[in-house]
């Protein structure tokens, strides 16, 4: 059954399965509201590690080992927020096969970034697995694919056996989206998808600008360290020591806003999140400021 609502459905899913004594597995680092909602229900939040060595995708083996008789719900998010990691089909296949041992564990798959994939990666929709369809809750919407953030347009696909419960909860969680927004959503679905592809291609260009800029900063810091004959020097375009403090200092001293990785979970420690949802011109300015800020800190 299909019903409206993206984030509200996520809230409903966690409310439905969360209670004291229950475990809910969620991606870490991940969308912060997953954990906060789990804790709100009294359930125990169990982090599913999203590791750099796995391309910031989940490991099926590691995930399955976290499931116990107390597990009620497994939350999956691929492509992932905030890392952008895409879990490959082979890993999803392993997870689905392993879930046969746990028939009472429901799965909530947040697929809102399903079109935001790069470098030849392919999104795998969990609806393509019939063996879990009777316990799968799928979330998606218009905000990312069609740049309609704030329009409050989303949808969820629920298994029939859970739909009646979800419909009763929805009375208190769903708002009525205005008619013009609904018609706009229909037009986005029915119309040509060329603009979506153009948007993703443009984001890809900006993403590469960020990566190249960070690599240049890392190389420069390494050269500076070598010139200073430093005996200990470790730089990375993805890692950052004391990320929250670094993010605050960068904002206050250089006027560049980033987010510390721990804001997205325990395993976000040592990372920061950068957004490329801005113009290339502004991204280059930000990278220059970051490079100068880090060079000055190294010199100090």
Asked if 121 and 141 sit in the same domain, the reply is yes
Mean pLDDT, residues 256-284: 93
Q: Identify the domain boundary among 190, 217, 242.
A: 190
Q: Identify the domain boundary among 157, 174, 190.
A: 190
Burial of 20 (0-12, 13-18, 19+ CB in 10 A): exposed
Asked if 171 and 124 sit in the same domain, the reply is yes
Asked if 233 and 174 sit in the same domain, the reply is no
CA 193 to CA 175: how far, in whole Å?
A: 28
pTM given for the model: 0.87
Structural domains of the chain, count: 2
Report the CATH number at residue 173: 3.40.640.10
- Domain containing 112 equals 2-190
Asked if 223 and 178 sit in the same domain, the reply is no
Instruction: Dump pLDDT digits (tens) for 103-156.
Output: 999 999 999 999 999 999 999 999 999 999 999 999 999 999 999 988 888 888
CA 208 to CA 172: how far, in whole Å?
A: 43
Report the CATH number at residue 204: 3.90.1150.10
Cβ contact 121:86 at 8 Å:
yes
Asked if 35 and 151 sit in the same domain, the reply is yes
Burial of 104 (0-12, 13-18, 19+ CB in 10 A): exposed
Asked if 82 and 133 sit in the same domain, the reply is yes
Instruction: Dump pLDDT digits (tens) for 33-45.
Output: 999 999 999 999 9
């Amino acid at each position: 059954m299909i019903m409206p609502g993206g984030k509200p459905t996520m809230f409903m899913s966690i409310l439905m399965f969360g209670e004291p004594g229950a475990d809910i597995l969620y991606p870490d680092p991940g969308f912060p509201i997953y954990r906060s909602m789990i804790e709100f229900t009294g359930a125990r939040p169990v982090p599913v590690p999203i590791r750099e060595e796995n391309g910031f995708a989940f490991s099926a083996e590691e995930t399955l080992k976290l499931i116990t008789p107390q597990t009620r719900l497994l939350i999956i998010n691929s492509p992932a927020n905030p890392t952008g990691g895409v879990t490959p089909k082979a890993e999803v296949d392993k997870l689905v096969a392993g879930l046969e041992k746990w028939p009472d564990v429901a799965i909530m798959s947040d697929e809102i970034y399903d079109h935001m994939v790069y470098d030849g990666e392919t999104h795998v929709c969990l609806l393509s697995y019939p063996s879990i369809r009777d316990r799968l809750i799928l979330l998606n919407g218009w905000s990312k694919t069609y740049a309609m953030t704030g329009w409050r347009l989303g949808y969820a696909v629920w298994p029939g056996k859970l739909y009646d419960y979800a419909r009763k909860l929805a009375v208190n969680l769903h708002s009525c989206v205005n008619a013009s927004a609904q018609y706009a959503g229909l037009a986005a679905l029915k119309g040509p998808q060329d603009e979506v592809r153009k948007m993703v291609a443009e984001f890809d260009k900006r993403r590469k600008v960020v990566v190249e800029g960070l690599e240049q900063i890392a190389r420069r810091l390494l050269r500076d360290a070598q010139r200073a004959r430093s005996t200990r020097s470790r730089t990375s375009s993805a890692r950052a020591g004391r990320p929250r403090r670094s993010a605050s200092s960068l904002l206050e001293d250089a006027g560049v806003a980033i987010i510390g990785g721990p804001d997205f979970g325990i395993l976000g420690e040592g990372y920061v999140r950068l957004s490329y949802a801005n113009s290339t011109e502004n991204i280059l300015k930000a990278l220059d400021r970051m490079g100068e800020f880090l060079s000055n800190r190294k010199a100090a």
